[in-house]
Structure 1
Amino acid sequence: MNVFDISRFDINEDQTVRNARELLKKYRELTLISKSTYSLRSSRLSQSEANYSNTNLKEINKFVCRKNEAKALVSSIDEALDMIDEDNQKLLKKEFCDQYKSDYALYSDLNLSEAGYYKKLKKALLIFAEAFGGSLVVWK
């Protein structure tokens, strides 16, 4: 039995799977944000330097906060993925972290039938939800 086998508990599996899927769908975007850099705009002559500097500092602060939040979330996702077994980790990374053209290409690559793939994906998402810290798990 997997360390994160929550099937024995009274959970709302469909909502838990949806929560895990929604989080993992954001993985690529969050990774891009966490690696992004800020470039300063050229100064505008119509505004005073003090206003421009203040506006620019607010933009930089907003950017830094967004980048730090993205880094923290990517780190948390990576940690949760590292906690689950290799087969489920591989499946979730291929589905949400790597770029595949289609689900067909993915389940063919994994030597699974379409039905087998989606059954295994649902189980992997449930395991991931628990590994993430339970905040994705919805109880009945």
Structure 2
Amino acid sequence: MVDIGNLGSWADNLEKAYSLSISEQARITKSGADVLRKNIADYLRSHHYRNRKTGEEPHLADSVIDDATNILGKVDGSSVVGFPPEKGYIARFLNDGTKYIHGDDYLDKVRNASLSEIFEAENTEYQKILEEKGISGV
């Protein structure tokens, strides 16, 4: 509850809390992307991992990547999670299916199941940023 006498300082803190730099926004979204990357890799290990000799090529579960950039590689406060091009087509086959492979639709499953964990990680990072700025009570 906000004390009426402190309403001005509360409003100032609220304004500071909402004016985040691009790098601060990227930190927040990257923390959520880290969670999604881990959950996708864990799902692939538990549902699609076979112990077989793959040579030097990493398994799809070990190839999930995330980055604090947009899809074009520019830093704009967003983050992406996905696969490198040489593994992306395999991920799509597993997700969507082919004539010979029944699709798993794992990307939507994992993304939906991870939403609360992603938001929690992003909120934790946001609170760290607010503490660094010396903002409280927002």
Say yes or no: TM over 0.5: no
Structure with the bigger percentage of helix:
1
Structure with the bigger percentage of strand:
2
Name the TM-score, length of structure 2 as normaliser: 0.30
Tell me which of the two structures has the higher relative contact order, counting C-alpha pairs closer than 8 angstroms and 6 or more residues apart. Answer: 1
